[in-house]
Amino acid sequence: MKTLEESIAIAMDSTDVAIVPFLPYILQDFWEIGTSSEIVIDFVKKYCANVETRRATSVQILDLGCGKGAVSVKLATALKCKCFGIDGIPEFIDTAKEKALEYGVDTFCRFEVGDIREKIRESGKFDVIILGAVGQVFGNFYTTLTAFSEHLTPEGIIIIDDAYIDYASTFQHPSILQRHEFLKQIGQAEMELIDEKTGGVADSEKEFENLQKRCRELIAKYPEKASLFEKYIKNQATEYDVLENKVICSTMVLKRICSMNFKLRPFKNSDLPSLVKYANNYNVARFMTNQFPYPYSEDDGRKFISSVCDSNPVKVFAIEVNSEAVGSIGIFPQSDIHEKNAEMGYWLAEPFWGNSIITRAIGQIVDYGFKTFDITTIFSRPFSINLASKRVLEKAGFVLEARLKNAIYKNGNYMDELIYAKRRDDNG
């Protein structure tokens, strides 16, 4: 495991621990370091139940790698919640305490110097855990999230401020993951991405100017260490370019996967009542092709069940929850020159959204498809506006391979069609 100094240096985009003692001077012009407090406040309001109506002491927030305490202090000011911030740089913690006093929230904020990898073991349960640009603390995001999720309350969330590489990019970085790998590790930790806000670094030019100015002052004061500060300036220039032009900066909200039992099985005639009950929903039909009618009648249900029941091997499965058919998922091998491909389609009844059923059902149907059919690729074609469908495909390891502009026309509107795919070789 890396030393605390090594971890701090990496979090501050350096490879040389010799820079760590000088960071308080170099970053003296910054209060907010990385994470946007406004975005975090909005997410806490949205996902921490009744945060604005509960007693202040009941909402507990853990701010790991809190820097100078800007996020915690502003959270406490806006929401009167209890915030506990930890950082490895003593001078940063001193500033955090001063700011808490200045803002009149010192009774809501507690700050300590320490290694967050050790401090977390001593901590209790929190409604919100914030990882503000501290990276993969325990080696990768899977181990990091697994360690921290143990300290969440049942409905708790983790807010991560980090970056990832977009699917279409060929850029590589030693500490920044491709989006699909990021989502894979989140899923392995039995968590899911429920929201995110992307964007570049605010006032990056001004930030870099201030940082460069302070490094120049240190070069004048410590000429024998000029190479250390010049290297840091160069590293920072590279990192600012990466964050602005090469990767996607994102503040993400994660929560534990809430599992609901389900099973996939062939449709049967007795599924008609539940099929009609759940399929007759505009919020389901709006993201389906016109072969999925709305309103959805009993006659529509009979025709559908009749069309899928005789297939051997089975291509379309009912998603069963509590003995009811609450959705459907299917795998459809193609023909002619596309015979090595199969299309996947699915829908789920609205009352069962948000329980990771489709993500897990996709995993099962993909395994089934590759084992049953002589295919090398499974693809799916969600509407570009169907954010939930895109998210579950990404969680299931599918990669966005194409966007067809205005290829869909439904309900009087043009939309892009996306093509996500997963290959047999990638289905580990």
pLDDT band at 56 (very low <50, low <70, confident <90, very high): very low
Q: What is the pLDDT of residue 367?
A: 93
Statement: residue 114 has pLDDT above 70 = yes
Neighbours of 361 (CB within 10 A): 22
Statement: residue 425 has pLDDT above 90 = no
| Average pLDDT value for residue range 65-71 | 93
Phi then psi dihedrals of residue 16, to 5 deg: -115, 115
251: closest CA among 44, 36, 78, 48? Answer: 36
Which comes out higher in pLDDT, residue 278 or 134? 278
380/399 Cα distance (integer angstroms): 10
The residue ranges of every structural domain in the chain are 4-256, 263-426
Please provide the CATH number assigned to the domain covering 263-426.
Answer: 3.40.630.30
Q: What is the pLDDT of residue 63?
A: 95
398/410 Cα distance (integer angstroms): 25
State what percent of residues in the chain have pLDDT above 70: 95
CB 380 within 8 A of CB 398: yes
Cross-strand partners of 63: 85, 130
pLDDT band at 263 (very low <50, low <70, confident <90, very high): very high
Q: What is the pLDDT of residue 201?
A: 65
Q: What is the pLDDT of residue 290?
A: 93
| Average pLDDT value for residue range 173-180 | 86
Which comes out higher in pLDDT, residue 6 or 241? 241
Q: What is the pLDDT of residue 55?
A: 52
Q: Which CATH number fits domain 4-256: 3.30.450.20, 3.40.50.150, 3.90.1150.10, 3.40.50.980?
A: 3.40.50.150
Neighbours of 230 (CB within 10 A): 13
The structure's pTM equals 0.69
Query: DSSP per residue over 101-148, as a string?
Result: HHTT-TTTEEEEES-HHHHHHH---EEEEEEES---TTSSHHHHHHHH
CB-count burial class (<10 Å; 0-12, 13-18, 19+) for 138: middle
pLDDT band at 403 (very low <50, low <70, confident <90, very high): very high
Q: What is the pLDDT of residue 53?
A: 53
What separation in angstroms does the CA of 52 have from each of 4, 43, 79, 83? 36, 12, 6, 15
319: closest CA among 282, 292, 352? Answer: 352
- Segment 299-352, tens digit of pLDDT: 999 999 999 988 889 999 999 999 999 999 999 999 999 999 999 999 999 988
| Average pLDDT value for residue range 29-33 | 88
Statement: residue 187 has pLDDT above 90 = no
* Element holding 182 (H helix, E strand): helix 179-188
